[in-house]
Amino acid sequence: MINGPRILVHAVSLYCAGRGIALDVRSDGWLLLLDHAGSRRLIFGYDLGLNSAVAHRLASDKAATAEVLSLAGVACVPHVLFMRPPFEAPAAAAAMLERLEAHPGGLVVKPNEGTSGRHVERVSDQRGLECAVEAIFARGADVAISPLLAVENEVRVILLEGDPLIVYTKERRPPEWRHNLELGARPVLLDTGAAREACVTLARSAAATIGIRFASVDVVLAAGRWQVLEINSGVVMEVLGRMHPERVDAAYAQALDLVFAGADL
Protein backbone atom coordinates (compact mmCIF):
# COMPACT_ATOMS: atom_id res chain seq x y z
CA MET A 1 0.00 0.00 0.00
CA ILE A 2 2.68 2.51 -0.99
CA ASN A 3 0.32 5.16 -2.35
CA GLY A 4 -2.84 3.89 -0.75
CA PRO A 5 -4.98 5.56 1.91
CA ARG A 6 -2.91 4.07 4.75
CA ILE A 7 -4.24 6.26 7.55
CA LEU A 8 -7.85 5.70 6.53
CA VAL A 9 -7.36 1.94 6.21
CA HIS A 10 -5.73 1.90 9.64
CA ALA A 11 -8.65 3.80 11.19
CA VAL A 12 -11.23 1.58 9.47
CA SER A 13 -9.38 -1.57 10.56
CA LEU A 14 -9.37 -0.40 14.20
CA TYR A 15 -13.05 0.47 14.01
CA CYS A 16 -14.03 -2.86 12.49
CA ALA A 17 -11.87 -4.91 14.89
CA GLY A 18 -13.53 -3.22 17.86
CA ARG A 19 -17.05 -3.98 16.64
CA GLY A 20 -16.87 -7.37 15.03
CA ILE A 21 -17.24 -5.99 11.51
CA ALA A 22 -15.61 -8.11 8.79
CA LEU A 23 -13.25 -6.02 6.66
CA ASP A 24 -11.93 -6.98 3.24
CA VAL A 25 -9.17 -4.66 1.97
CA ARG A 26 -8.84 -4.67 -1.84
CA SER A 27 -6.92 -2.74 -4.50
CA ASP A 28 -4.09 -1.64 -2.22
CA GLY A 29 -6.58 -0.14 0.21
CA TRP A 30 -8.54 1.87 -2.33
CA LEU A 31 -11.57 -0.41 -2.01
CA LEU A 32 -12.84 -1.53 1.41
CA LEU A 33 -15.72 -3.94 1.95
CA LEU A 34 -17.26 -3.86 5.40
CA ASP A 35 -19.78 -6.47 6.47
CA HIS A 36 -21.76 -6.60 9.67
CA ALA A 37 -24.43 -9.26 10.10
CA GLY A 38 -25.31 -9.10 6.43
CA SER A 39 -25.34 -5.33 6.16
CA ARG A 40 -22.60 -4.26 3.81
CA ARG A 41 -20.91 -0.89 3.44
CA LEU A 42 -18.39 0.13 0.78
CA ILE A 43 -15.58 2.66 1.01
CA PHE A 44 -13.99 3.71 -2.26
CA GLY A 45 -10.90 5.90 -2.02
CA TYR A 46 -11.80 8.51 0.57
CA ASP A 47 -15.50 8.21 -0.15
CA LEU A 48 -17.28 6.74 2.86
CA GLY A 49 -20.62 6.97 1.11
CA LEU A 50 -21.99 9.69 3.40
CA ASN A 51 -22.28 12.42 0.76
CA SER A 52 -24.88 12.58 -1.97
CA ALA A 53 -23.70 12.45 -5.56
CA VAL A 54 -24.66 16.08 -6.15
CA ALA A 55 -22.85 17.31 -3.01
CA HIS A 56 -19.76 15.32 -4.01
CA ARG A 57 -19.80 16.69 -7.56
CA LEU A 58 -20.33 20.28 -6.43
CA ALA A 59 -17.46 20.03 -3.94
CA SER A 60 -15.19 18.57 -6.61
CA ASP A 61 -15.91 21.53 -8.91
CA LYS A 62 -14.30 24.71 -7.56
CA ALA A 63 -16.22 27.08 -9.85
CA ALA A 64 -19.59 25.45 -9.14
CA THR A 65 -18.92 25.54 -5.38
CA ALA A 66 -18.02 29.23 -5.54
CA GLU A 67 -21.16 29.98 -7.55
CA VAL A 68 -23.50 28.16 -5.17
CA LEU A 69 -21.84 29.72 -2.11
CA SER A 70 -21.94 33.25 -3.47
CA LEU A 71 -25.59 32.85 -4.48
CA ALA A 72 -26.28 31.95 -0.84
CA GLY A 73 -24.25 34.91 0.45
CA VAL A 74 -21.50 32.70 1.95
CA ALA A 75 -18.14 34.52 1.77
CA CYS A 76 -15.94 32.68 -0.71
CA VAL A 77 -13.05 33.15 -3.12
CA PRO A 78 -14.54 33.62 -6.61
CA HIS A 79 -13.57 30.95 -9.14
CA VAL A 80 -14.52 31.40 -12.79
CA LEU A 81 -14.67 28.34 -15.03
CA PHE A 82 -13.00 28.12 -18.45
CA MET A 83 -13.70 24.86 -20.23
CA ARG A 84 -10.98 22.99 -22.09
CA PRO A 85 -10.99 22.88 -25.89
CA PRO A 86 -13.11 22.04 -27.80
CA PHE A 87 -15.72 23.05 -25.21
CA GLU A 88 -14.40 26.57 -24.59
CA ALA A 89 -16.53 29.59 -25.44
CA PRO A 90 -15.28 31.58 -28.46
CA ALA A 91 -14.65 34.60 -26.26
CA ALA A 92 -12.79 32.66 -23.56
CA ALA A 93 -9.31 34.04 -24.25
CA ALA A 94 -10.58 37.62 -24.14
CA ALA A 95 -12.55 36.91 -20.98
CA MET A 96 -9.42 35.53 -19.29
CA LEU A 97 -7.46 38.65 -20.19
CA GLU A 98 -10.25 40.80 -18.84
CA ARG A 99 -9.87 39.06 -15.50
CA LEU A 100 -6.17 39.94 -15.52
CA GLU A 101 -6.98 43.58 -16.24
CA ALA A 102 -9.58 43.58 -13.48
CA HIS A 103 -7.03 42.17 -11.01
CA PRO A 104 -3.67 43.83 -11.61
CA GLY A 105 -2.36 42.14 -8.45
CA GLY A 106 -2.46 38.85 -10.35
CA LEU A 107 -4.55 35.72 -10.71
CA VAL A 108 -4.42 32.12 -9.61
CA VAL A 109 -4.96 29.55 -12.35
CA LYS A 110 -5.79 25.97 -11.34
CA PRO A 111 -7.48 22.81 -12.60
CA ASN A 112 -11.16 23.26 -11.77
CA GLU A 113 -11.31 19.77 -10.29
CA GLY A 114 -7.73 19.58 -9.02
CA THR A 115 -6.36 18.50 -5.64
CA SER A 116 -3.17 18.72 -3.59
CA GLY A 117 -2.06 22.02 -5.13
CA ARG A 118 -1.02 20.36 -8.38
CA HIS A 119 -0.80 22.77 -11.34
CA VAL A 120 -1.98 25.69 -9.18
CA GLU A 121 -0.08 28.71 -10.53
CA ARG A 122 0.14 32.41 -9.76
CA VAL A 123 0.22 34.60 -12.86
CA SER A 124 0.67 38.32 -13.31
CA ASP A 125 0.91 38.85 -17.06
CA GLN A 126 -0.62 37.64 -20.30
CA ARG A 127 2.19 35.23 -21.13
CA GLY A 128 2.12 33.62 -17.69
CA LEU A 129 -1.65 33.33 -17.90
CA GLU A 130 -1.57 31.64 -21.31
CA CYS A 131 1.16 29.20 -20.27
CA ALA A 132 -0.64 28.17 -17.08
CA VAL A 133 -3.97 27.73 -18.87
CA GLU A 134 -2.41 25.78 -21.75
CA ALA A 135 -0.64 23.43 -19.35
CA ILE A 136 -3.94 22.56 -17.67
CA PHE A 137 -5.85 22.22 -20.94
CA ALA A 138 -3.07 19.94 -22.23
CA ARG A 139 -3.90 17.56 -19.38
CA GLY A 140 -7.51 17.47 -20.54
CA ALA A 141 -8.76 19.47 -17.56
CA ASP A 142 -10.91 22.58 -17.22
CA VAL A 143 -9.51 25.74 -15.64
CA ALA A 144 -10.72 27.84 -12.70
CA ILE A 145 -9.39 31.37 -12.35
CA SER A 146 -9.54 33.47 -9.19
CA PRO A 147 -7.98 36.73 -8.06
CA LEU A 148 -4.66 36.25 -6.25
CA LEU A 149 -5.28 36.99 -2.57
CA ALA A 150 -2.69 37.88 0.05
CA VAL A 151 -3.55 34.92 2.26
CA GLU A 152 -2.66 35.60 5.90
CA ASN A 153 -3.89 32.29 7.24
CA GLU A 154 -5.48 29.12 5.89
CA VAL A 155 -7.54 26.81 8.09
CA ARG A 156 -9.09 23.42 7.44
CA VAL A 157 -12.31 22.46 9.21
CA ILE A 158 -13.25 18.79 9.11
CA LEU A 159 -17.00 18.69 9.55
CA LEU A 160 -19.41 15.84 10.13
CA GLU A 161 -23.01 17.01 9.92
CA GLY A 162 -22.01 20.46 11.18
CA ASP A 163 -19.86 19.07 13.99
CA PRO A 164 -16.21 20.25 13.75
CA LEU A 165 -14.20 17.06 14.32
CA ILE A 166 -10.78 18.58 13.71
CA VAL A 167 -9.73 22.15 12.95
CA TYR A 168 -6.18 23.05 12.03
CA THR A 169 -4.22 25.88 10.56
CA LYS A 170 -1.76 25.18 7.75
CA GLU A 171 1.66 26.70 8.28
CA ARG A 172 3.41 26.89 4.96
CA ARG A 173 7.18 26.83 4.63
CA PRO A 174 8.54 29.69 2.50
CA PRO A 175 9.26 29.94 -0.37
CA GLU A 176 6.26 27.69 -1.09
CA TRP A 177 3.22 29.98 -1.39
CA ARG A 178 0.54 27.28 -1.43
CA HIS A 179 -0.81 25.84 1.82
CA ASN A 180 -1.12 22.18 0.81
CA LEU A 181 0.22 19.68 3.33
CA GLU A 182 1.37 17.60 0.35
CA LEU A 183 3.67 20.53 -0.51
CA GLY A 184 5.21 20.71 2.95
CA ALA A 185 2.78 22.85 4.98
CA ARG A 186 2.52 21.81 8.62
CA PRO A 187 -0.85 21.27 10.29
CA VAL A 188 -1.21 22.96 13.69
CA LEU A 189 -4.34 22.00 15.64
CA LEU A 190 -6.67 24.87 16.49
CA ASP A 191 -8.72 23.68 19.44
CA THR A 192 -9.85 27.02 20.86
CA GLY A 193 -10.01 30.70 20.02
CA ALA A 194 -11.83 33.31 18.00
CA ALA A 195 -10.23 32.31 14.68
CA ARG A 196 -11.45 28.75 15.17
CA GLU A 197 -14.98 29.95 15.94
CA ALA A 198 -15.06 32.18 12.85
CA CYS A 199 -13.79 29.38 10.63
CA VAL A 200 -16.22 26.79 12.02
CA THR A 201 -19.20 29.11 11.58
CA LEU A 202 -18.25 29.83 7.97
CA ALA A 203 -17.44 26.20 7.18
CA ARG A 204 -20.81 25.10 8.60
CA SER A 205 -22.71 27.53 6.37
CA ALA A 206 -20.69 26.39 3.36
CA ALA A 207 -21.31 22.70 4.04
CA ALA A 208 -25.01 23.27 4.68
CA THR A 209 -25.29 25.31 1.47
CA ILE A 210 -24.04 22.52 -0.77
CA GLY A 211 -25.68 19.85 1.38
CA ILE A 212 -22.51 17.95 2.23
CA ARG A 213 -22.38 15.77 5.39
CA PHE A 214 -18.70 14.83 5.74
CA ALA A 215 -16.13 17.21 4.29
CA SER A 216 -12.97 19.25 4.76
CA VAL A 217 -13.71 22.92 4.28
CA ASP A 218 -10.71 25.17 3.59
CA VAL A 219 -11.06 28.81 4.59
CA VAL A 220 -8.57 31.60 4.06
CA LEU A 221 -8.06 34.93 5.78
CA ALA A 222 -7.36 37.70 3.29
CA ALA A 223 -7.83 41.47 3.69
CA GLY A 224 -9.08 40.79 7.21
CA ARG A 225 -11.94 38.58 6.00
CA TRP A 226 -12.42 34.83 6.27
CA GLN A 227 -13.67 33.25 3.04
CA VAL A 228 -14.18 29.73 1.78
CA LEU A 229 -11.48 28.62 -0.65
CA GLU A 230 -12.74 25.13 -1.38
CA ILE A 231 -14.69 22.19 -0.04
CA ASN A 232 -13.22 18.70 -0.29
CA SER A 233 -15.67 15.84 -0.29
CA GLY A 234 -12.93 13.28 0.34
CA VAL A 235 -11.58 13.75 3.86
CA VAL A 236 -7.88 13.01 3.47
CA MET A 237 -5.87 12.99 6.72
CA GLU A 238 -2.69 11.17 5.68
CA VAL A 239 -0.24 13.88 6.85
CA LEU A 240 -2.27 14.83 9.93
CA GLY A 241 -2.60 11.15 10.86
CA ARG A 242 1.17 10.75 11.10
CA MET A 243 1.26 13.58 13.66
CA HIS A 244 -2.00 13.05 15.55
CA PRO A 245 -3.06 9.44 14.95
CA GLU A 246 -5.58 9.30 17.84
CA ARG A 247 -7.42 12.41 16.67
CA VAL A 248 -7.63 11.09 13.14
CA ASP A 249 -8.75 7.60 14.20
CA ALA A 250 -11.43 9.19 16.40
CA ALA A 251 -12.66 11.45 13.58
CA TYR A 252 -12.98 8.57 11.12
CA ALA A 253 -14.68 6.48 13.86
CA GLN A 254 -17.33 9.18 14.26
CA ALA A 255 -17.91 9.20 10.52
CA LEU A 256 -18.12 5.39 10.50
CA ASP A 257 -20.72 5.50 13.29
CA LEU A 258 -22.85 7.47 10.84
CA VAL A 259 -22.06 5.04 8.02
CA PHE A 260 -23.39 2.23 10.21
CA ALA A 261 -26.25 4.25 11.73
CA GLY A 262 -29.23 1.97 12.12
CA ALA A 263 -27.19 -1.21 11.58
CA ASP A 264 -27.33 -2.23 15.27
CA LEU A 265 -23.59 -2.74 15.84
Contacts to ligand ADP by CB under 6 A: 77, 108, 110, 114-118, 120, 146-149, 151, 154, 178-180, 218, 229-230
Nearer to ligand ADP, 180 or 209 (CB): 180
Find the shortest distance in angstroms from Cβ 51 to ligand ADP. 17
Find the shortest distance in angstroms from Cβ 259 to ligand ADP. 25
Find the shortest distance in angstroms from Cβ 218 to ligand ADP. 6
Nearer to ligand ADP, 42 or 138 (CB): 138
* Rounded distance between C-alpha atoms, residue 119 and residue 114, angstroms: 8
Nearer to ligand ADP, 50 or 221 (CB): 221
Find the shortest distance in angstroms from Cβ 201 to ligand ADP. 20
Find the shortest distance in angstroms from Cβ 77 to ligand ADP. 5
Nearer to ligand ADP, 34 or 145 (CB): 145
Cβ-based neighbour number of residue 262 at 10 Å: 7
Find the shortest distance in angstroms from Cβ 79 to ligand ADP. 8
- Reference 248, options 134, 156, 135; nearest CA is 156
CA distances from 149 to 77, 104, 108 (A): 9, 11, 9
Residue 94: CB partners within 8 Å, gap ≥ 6?
none
Buried b (16+ CB within 10 A) or exposed e, 184-219: ebebeebeeeebbeebbebbbbbbebbebbbbbbbb
How does DSSP classify residue 48? -
Burial class (CB in 10 A: 0-12, 13-18, 19+), 95: middle
Nearer to ligand ADP, 79 or 204 (CB): 79
- 136 three-class SS: helix
Find the shortest distance in angstroms from Cβ 61 to ligand ADP. 11
Nearer to ligand ADP, 19 or 118 (CB): 118
* Rounded distance between C-alpha atoms, residue 141 and residue 61, angstroms: 11
Residue 197: CB partners within 8 Å, gap ≥ 6?
none
Nearer to ligand ADP, 114 or 164 (CB): 114
